[in-house]
Structure formats: C-alpha cells, structure tokens
Amino acid sequence: MFKFLLIVIIDILFSAGTFAQFSTGKLGIAVNAVYTTSVDIFLNPNSSNSEVRNKSFTLENIWNPGIDIRYRFSNEFILGLNIEYMKKTAAVPNLTAFVGNQVLVFEVEDGFSAVPIELTAHYFFPFSTEDFKFMMGGGVGYYIGDFVRKFQGVELEITQRKFALGLHVSASIDYIIIENLSARFEMKFRNPQYTITSKYSQTEVTYQGNVIQLPENPFDTKVDINGLTFIFGLVINI
C-alpha cells in the first residue's frame, strides 16, 4: 500500500512539473498589483441642472490588490476570472451644511470602495516566443461598491446599492522567469459606473464649537471608474 501511494505521489509531482510549462500548463494563478489612473465621483447625479449634474471630483493614482485565475481550454483560448478590491479617499471641500443661519463649506474625507469581478476570454497569439507570451482579451464585469464620507466621526449609512455591469478589453504579456513562474504586464480598458444611495449616521455634529446641521434625507452618488488600468503580477502556472 505504501509503495502504491508513493508511486501515485511521484506521478502527481512529475505531472505537475510537466504542466508547469506555460506552453502545456492548464491553470495560471496570478497575484496582482493593479494601478488605475483615475476615478470620477459625481455628488449630484440626479440634478436637473446639467452643470451641477456633470460636476465631479477626481481621485487619481489608485493602487489595489487583485487575483487573476486563468484556465487554458485550447492552444488559442484561455478563460480568466479576475477579482480586485479598490479603495481610496481624499480630503476635499465637498460638504455644504448649515451653521446657525449660515451655509458653509467644510472639508471632508470623500472616496469610494469597489469590488470588480471580471470574466475574460483571452486569445493566445501564435507568434509568442518561449520567453514572451502575448494575449488579448475581452469580457464582462460585475462591479459593486460604496461611496465613503467621513466628517468629525460621522459616516454614511448605505440605504441602497446598485451594482454595475460593464465590458472591458485587455492586452497582456507574460515573461517566463522559470519553468512554472512568470511575470505579467497587462493593460485594460473599462468604464463601469454604479450609484449609491446614502444618508448620514447622525444629523448633528459639533465642529470647532459650532453645531452643524447635516441633511436628513438620503442622497445619491455616482462612481465612475473611467481611468486606464495597468496590472503587474506574478503568475504560477500549474
């Protein structure tokens, strides 16, 4: 029995070593660092005034982690599943509130968080070399996230969250470092938009000795992930 188990284990390890090569391996698992150039956030997306409706503030240079799993169905076609977690905030003068009989503008910490889940069909180019593997892909993504605002200990409560579906296209290059390990560079174009309905966790806050009245009613915010995306990853091929 022991000999049989030993033979099975050796056979599995031998097979793994064979399929570790990119040219024959079926499965690739990548751990990625994802860079998005910019995200626009619209604070009044339902305003009847087009100037107010289209006004946004921009968050730039967004880094986030991601994981990409690709399964090779044939010599030419690969199916991939990509999951990321994005989050960034910045101090911006975005809050208009009442202080007594005055209307003042305050600086708050505004931003977003999002979870992109993308399914991609990749085409493996036949002109790829032993060291460099070229792919181009396209697919559909499911995006869900939040609008983030913090001010003097007051945060937002989500009352309604609308997910987004979007299309994307990508181009990637894998450089084979060793037999079962490669480095990946990928460029991706996508433009998902999702809307969040929020309200403040409390309607009064004290700031520098003044009582500030915050709006009671829920409000909508639109997040537009419209920047170019660059991905840097390490891939284990098995």
pLDDT of residue 169: 97
Assign domain 2-88+109-200+218-237 to its CATH architecture.
Beta Barrel (2.40)
Give the Cα separation of 111 and 58 in Å (integer): 9
pLDDT of residue 191: 94
Token pair 């995200």 in the structure block, residue: 39
Residue 133 CB: number of other CB atoms within 10 A?
21
Give the Cα separation of 125 and 231 in Å (integer): 19
Q: Domain coordinates of the chain in residue numbers?
A: 2-88+109-200+218-237
Per-residue pLDDT of the chain (238 residues; tens, 9 = 90+): 444 444 443 443 334 333 333 555 689 999 999 999 999 999 999 999 999 999 999 999 999 999 999 999 998 999 999 999 999 999 999 988 877 777 888 899 999 999 999 999 999 999 999 999 999 999 999 999 999 999 988 999 999 998 899 999 999 999 999 988 999 999 999 999 999 999 999 988 888 778 888 888 999 999 999 989 999 999 999 8
The dihedral through the CA atoms of 62, 156, 57, 100 has a sign that is negative
Token pair in block for residue 171: 């181009």
pLDDT of residue 25: 66
Which residues are CB-neighbours of 38 under 8 A, at least 6 positions away? 58, 59, 60, 62, 226, 227
Strands (E), 152-192: 154-161, 164-178, 181-190
